[in-house]
Amino acid sequence: MQWFIEPSKWPSHLVLPMMILKENLKEPPKAGVGYSCSDCGKAYKVKSSLSNHRKWECGKEPRFKCLYCAYKAKQKVHLVRHLRKLHRVLDSEELNHAVVHFKEKCPQCHKLYKNRKSLISHRSRDCGRPKHNICEVCFEAFKRKEHLRGHMIRRHGLLLH
C-alpha cells in the first residue's frame, strides 16, 4: 500500500489511528489465491503465516497478557505490537518485563498461570472458594487475607491489623 507521507513522519497523535486505518485497508487474499486454514477458514497470502496460525493460534487460548490492560494475545509478537502502539512501551527492557507468558491453565476455572507451582497453589488455596475478605474502603472482595492486605497498602495506603 502506498502512502503519501511516510509513517515515520506522521504526527505522534495520529500514529495509532493511521496504523488502524492502514490495517483495515489491507486487501484480503483473493479467492483461490493464498493459503487458508482447513479448520477455521482464515486465509493468508504466505504459507509460513498459515503455518504460524496453525501452530500458535487456531483453536488455542491466548498465552500472553498485557500488564497494563485486559488485552491477551496468542503470539508474543502481537502483544509486543500492542504494547508499543497502545501503551508506548518502547524500551526493550521494559518490553521484556511487560510480556507475561502463561504456560499453565486451571482445568476447573480456566485461569492462566506462568508456571505449574502457581497453578498448584491456586487449585489448593483459591479455585472454587468464595471471596470473603472485603475491603472496607472500596468493597473489593478477595479470597485470601494477604491479598486484601496488599490491596489496602497499594490502593489505599492503609495497613490492616
Q: What confidence tens digit (pLDDT) does each residue in 66-85 have?
A: 888 888 888 888 888 888 88
pLDDT, tens only, 111-139? 777 788 988 888 988 888 898 999 988 89
| Residue 121 shares a structural domain with residue 154 | no
Position 157 in a domain: yes
Position 17 in a domain: no
| Residue 77 shares a structural domain with residue 110 | yes
Please list, in sequence order, all residues whose beta carbon lies within 8 angstroms of the beta carbon of residue 149, skipping any fewer than 6 positions away.
159, 160
Instruction: Provide the terminal-to-terminal Cα distance of the chain, rounded to the nearest Å.
Output: 62
> Average pLDDT, stretch 43-64?
86
More confident residue, 91 or 22: 91
More confident residue, 134 or 61: 134
For residue 51, what pLDDT is reported?
86
Which structural domain range is residue 152 located in?
130-161
- State the chain's mean pLDDT as an integer: 79
DSSP for 9-24 reads GS-GGGHHHHHHHHHH
- Determine the Cα–Cα distance for residues 121 and 111; give it in Å rounded to an integer: 12
Q: Using DSSP, state whether 141 is helix, strand or coil.
A: strand
Asked whether 53 and 44 are in contact (CB, 8 A), the reply is yes
For residue 1, what pLDDT is reported?
46
- CATH code where residue 153 lies: 3.30.160
Position 24 in a domain: no
